[in-house]
């Protein structure tokens, strides 16, 4: 494959980089811009979003006909990485999780323009936030959706929902929800996906679950469903297609995580390099010490490998391939790389890295979730093992 970006994507990339430098990085310097959950306040995000929209830097993953940039998955890889030089950048361009993955899913599976106008367009326009409700407590589904016990029971032309979900990212303040519920005991066709609006009765947010790292807007919440009624017309795909919906949703979404994590990994290197090039030690800068050079070089190598893996998977998705194993490989490697980049930057800066004077401590705490979200690394390794045992030498074939 050719890794040269198209002139259009390269133009977008340079403009995104300039926008982040001018409008996003300065926000990190003023604690007044942050909320109590260590994220940029939503009113500040709304203001910067208007600037991004005005410059045509908006919803890179969406069709032009609906206000997006329609750059393809390879284009997304380049632009998401640039946006995530600040952890707050993706939200400014409307390519932050969980909204970006929800938009990609809804654009693929909603049957009519009327349904897209109802459920998708407000998310694209930035008028509402969304959430994807799948994971459950009490032994319920996490990496294994077949364990779902939240039920959807058909009563007339409505579905009645009962059960619980937790660690639902962005739920507090979200308006449009995608819900996975059990509709039969069939192992493969027992789940169905639905849309509901936050204003509908029959559900509540039990709590916003405290976590060790900084949070996305809306946190990670526990939800309770006690009679929520959903019209059958707001079902996604057919009854029993819930697992298919999760696979469509999580495939590209896992890769977009990698794109953003690479941007954060590069930012760690930027911060660390700026420090070691100026900090003096034994008559020379830290950057002149061979040990420091090894540490920086090792991280640079891992980031480069991660970018190649991510771009390869993105290219395959653009060719119509599901790229399941390629995405798993990228997810495992880039999750490890993000932690290594943050840990190395912290080590090189010593006490300054351990302090809150730079963004490294924020990224370091955030990085630990990377090996858990959208499938733990061990699950992805299991997927790779199963694929290899089924294909043997064909596992390593070239092309799609």
pLDDT recorded at residue 140: 64
Spans of all domains in the chain: 7-98, 130-240, 244-396
Is the confidence at residue 375, as pLDDT, over 70?
yes
Q: Do domains 7-98 and 244-396 have the same CATH topology?
A: no
- Each residue's pLDDT tens digit, 131-172: 999 999 987 677 788 889 999 999 999 999 999 999 999 999
Specify the CATH number for 7-98; select among 3.40.50.1820, 3.20.20.140, 1.10.10.10, 1.10.540.10. Answer: 1.10.540.10
Whole-prediction pTM: 0.96
Cis peptide before 248 (omega within 30 of 0): no
The chain-wide mean pLDDT, for the chain, equals 96
pLDDT of residue 399: 80
Q: Does the pLDDT of residue 1 top 90, yes or no?
A: no
pLDDT average, residue stretch 226-240? 97
Q: What is the pLDDT of residues 278-333, one digit of tens each?
A: 999 999 999 999 999 999 999 999 999 999 999 999 999 999 999 999 999 999 99
Q: Any residues with CB less than 8 A from the CB of 218 and at least 6 apart, and which?
A: 129, 131, 169, 170, 171, 172, 173, 174
- What's the rounded mean pLDDT across residues 361-365? 97
- CATH number for the domain formed by residue range(s) 130-240: 2.40.110.10
Query: In the numeric block, which tokens belong to residue 357?
Result: 């004077």
- Residue range 22-58, pLDDT digits in tens: 999 999 999 999 999 999 999 999 999 999 999 999 9
Cα angle 244-329-188, degrees, rounded to a multiple of 5:
20
Average pLDDT over residues 351-380: 96
CATH label, 244-396, candidates 1.20.140.10, 3.40.50.1820, 1.10.150.530, 2.60.40.10: 1.20.140.10
Average of per-residue pLDDT across 74-88: 98
């Amino acid at each position: 494959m050719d890794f040269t970006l198209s002139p259009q994507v390269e133009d977008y990339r340079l403009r995104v980089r300039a926008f982040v430098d001018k409008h996003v990085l300065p926000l990190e310097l003023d604690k007044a811009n942050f909320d109590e959950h260590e994220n940029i306040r939503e009113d500040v995000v709304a203001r910067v979003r208007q600037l991004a929209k005005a410059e045509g830097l908006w919803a890179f993953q969406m069709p032009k006909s609906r206000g997006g940039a329609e750059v393809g998955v390879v284009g997304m890889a380049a632009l998401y990485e640039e946006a995530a030089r600040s952890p707050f950048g993706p939200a400014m361009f409307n390519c932050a999780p969980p909204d970006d993955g929800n938009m990609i899913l809804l654009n693929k599976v909603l049957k009519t323009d009327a349904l897209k106008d109802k459920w998708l367009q407000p998310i694209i326009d930035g008028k509402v936030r969304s959430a994807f409700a799948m994971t459950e407590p009490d032994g319920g589904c996490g990496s294994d959706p077949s364990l779902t016990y939240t039920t959807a029971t058909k009563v007339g032309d409505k579905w009645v929902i009962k059960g619980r979900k937790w660690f639902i990212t962005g739920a507090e303040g979200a308006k449009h929800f995608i819900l996975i519920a059990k509709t039969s005991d069939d192992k493969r066709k027992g789940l169905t996906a639905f849309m509901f609006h936050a204003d509908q009765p029959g559900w509540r947010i039990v709590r916003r679950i405290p976590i060790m790292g900084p949070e996305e807007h809306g946190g990670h919440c526990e939800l309770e469903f006690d009679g929520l009624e959903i019209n059958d017309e707001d079902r996604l795909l057919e009854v029993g297609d819930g697992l298919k919906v999760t696979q469509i949703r999580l495939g590209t979404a896992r890769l977009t995580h990698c794109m953003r994590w690479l941007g954060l990994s590069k930012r760690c290197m930027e911060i660390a390099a700026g420090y070691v090039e100026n900090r003096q030690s034994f008559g020379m800068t830290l950057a002149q010490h061979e040990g420091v050079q090894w540490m920086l070089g090792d991280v640079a190598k891992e980031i480069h490998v991660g970018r190649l893996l991510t771009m390869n998977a993105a290219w395959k998705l653009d060719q119509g391939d599901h790229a399941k194993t390629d995405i798993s490989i990228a997810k495992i490697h880039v999750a490890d790389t993000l932690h290594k980049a943050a840990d190395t930057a912290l080590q090189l800066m010593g006490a300054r890295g351990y302090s809150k004077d730079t963004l490294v401590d924020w990224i370091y705490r955030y990085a630990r979730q990377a090996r858990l979200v959208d499938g733990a690394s061990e699950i992805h390794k299991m997927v790779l093992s199963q694929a290899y045992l089924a294909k043997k030498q064909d596992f390593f074939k070239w092309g799609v």
